[in-house]
Amino acid sequence: MGLYGEELTFDKFCDILIPVITGGQTDRHDDYSIWLAFCSFDKNGDHYIQADELETLMRIIGKSVSRERIRYYIDKVDWDYNGKLDYNEFREFIVRGYARELLMMDITREIVYSNEPMKIPPNISV
């Protein structure tokens, strides 16, 4: 389910993840996209994002991230120390790139520490 109980299409899902993926890489952020992501992640509608809601998102996209790891990233911007993110804290979570870092951390580790030999196509010079 998507924003306000509507079906979440693949295109909408991609639109919601754009600020997460691009967070920390640009000085310009689309507040509307961040707001849509916030509303979509806020599954219980309490206007906060809890660790379990981020954990559910990670499972949906095929990532296995511990609740402790998610709490570590939430704590970086949880200014009122209530264990959850309001919109302004969530926006900082996106803008500072913590959401992107959380989403991409295993991918980076797999690429950097892979034991598989890298095959470079013959038409590319190194």
What is the number of domains present in the chain? 1
Range of the domain at 49: 3-105
Instruction: Please name the helix (run of DSSP H) or strand (run of DSSP E) that holds residue 84, with its range, or none.
Output: strand 84-85
What predicted TM-score, i.e. pTM, was given to this entire model?
Answer: 0.70
Residue 113 lies in a domain: no
Residue 31 lies in a domain: yes
pLDDT tens-digit map of 9-49: 667 767 777 777 776 555 566 788 889 889 988 989 999 99
Residue 117 lies in a domain: no
Residue 120 lies in a domain: no
Residue 78 lies in a domain: yes
What CATH number has the domain bearing residue 63? 1.10.238.10
Residue 125 lies in a domain: no
